[in-house]
Structure 1
């Protein structure tokens, strides 16, 4: 049997993309560790219900990893960054020899996938749409955002072109790029602001609009930008985020403008808080801070770069995860010099 798409991780990202492709007529199978979620997706009387930008329900084959058998031509990996290596090892036996894994994740996960299945069987993606797993069988997709796919070696291949056409059923403006790292690192710099938001009570737009903490937000993103520069990775902006505003010589007007544009992008969204905040405040589980910001901090240390704001933010989030510190809008004020 020639299976087409296996969604490994049917949460906010994987569930949303998979549901759109299933509705478009693709052969989609879901895998998730949440048995109740799996049961709902495959139940003809329930299914996977998407709300938000659009509202619809799909029913599809769904399994826990222990129940799965067969091989797939394409596996879309959509687990948290810190679960990437383990998930890649689990999914490898289910990937066809000529198939590939698409990383639908935040962070720099492609290298961990390639270490297991091979670089030639790995495709990367940058995504900036917002979605939340609400309950078993229910996902809230709040807004469209920038999306880019690319081969790890930067070539524009026929399989990338074919994937691009497929993903347009979900995001019509998805792009192909020969410089995926530029987008991934741009997202990491922006993600530093989302991790900062997650430590408080205000939503994304309200946090980005705060003048009192703008110096620490600017320093956080600036430290990510300096690491990218040290590794000679040019950065791309998106959805109001301008990486040039976080360089040491950036003008106050440019800094204010990018914050205004980011607030304008986030303000209309029905998803007001980041998924990181939901991990801390709602789901009470560890965040991706080590798999994203921790990786950047380690790369900074390897080049003897100072990243005090990032290190302090990582420590702060660990304290919240451990129940040693409450979520508070005052948390970021403590990171100010």
Structure 2
């Protein structure tokens, strides 16, 4: 038997419950993992609320990331053996699989090598954050020297990954944060510039930093009323990626201004990269290279225990974390 976390109706953290379930054998292309740590993502609280990119089928499990030890493999699985240390990358529907459990079964394609230099907790934190940012900044926009990259909500795990990846590629990062208490930590994380939006006119400050040329890339998980302002500080043929809706309100797009500067707005999520075998392989190799060179590093805000999963989601929804929340199993 294994404990997993499920919920039978949409709602607050209190709808999460622990269920004892029989450990099943993996199918032909599946891998069973004894979980050591779980990475927690904003997507999972949206899933719990049934307010995510697909409707929930109840009763539902949840969870996209984990690190652990292979417990069993399906008959058609190659290159993965019982006893291997592995990680689970987001690359499946939570209607089909989940990582909130002591022992889980996931598709073979979701398994990635465990970086040797990282603990289980660190490894459980990296794949959603780095691959989401990689897909936009490295794979699509191909940022590099001379590019300015604006990163709102920069203290989130994906925001911090974006700072590191843009730096790794040679671009100049402009991190946005609402309050001054995160300024020094963001600078210490590698942000070239930090703008405190509650204190400063970020439009004017970005224009100053970029010498009036604007930022070629905006990587935004917020949307809402500030999105049009972000577009106004983009360069000619600049590109804005929107990968979240933290503002939870209408997001207006200044169409005529965009036409004048031939700008692009793209909706973005991890699936474009993690759902394609060739792109997924390239992303994993890039992240592993950055980790080996010390250019990319996991940043953990706080660690919890598996029994505290309800409290974990309450903490997640306070929106105060700097980096990733991880649960040890």
Shared fold, TM over 0.5: no
Answer 1 or 2: higher relative contact order, Cα 8 Å, separation at least 6. Answer: 2
Identify the structure with the greater helix proportion.
1
TM-score by length of 2: 0.33
TM-score by length of 1: 0.33
Identify the structure with the greater strand proportion.
2
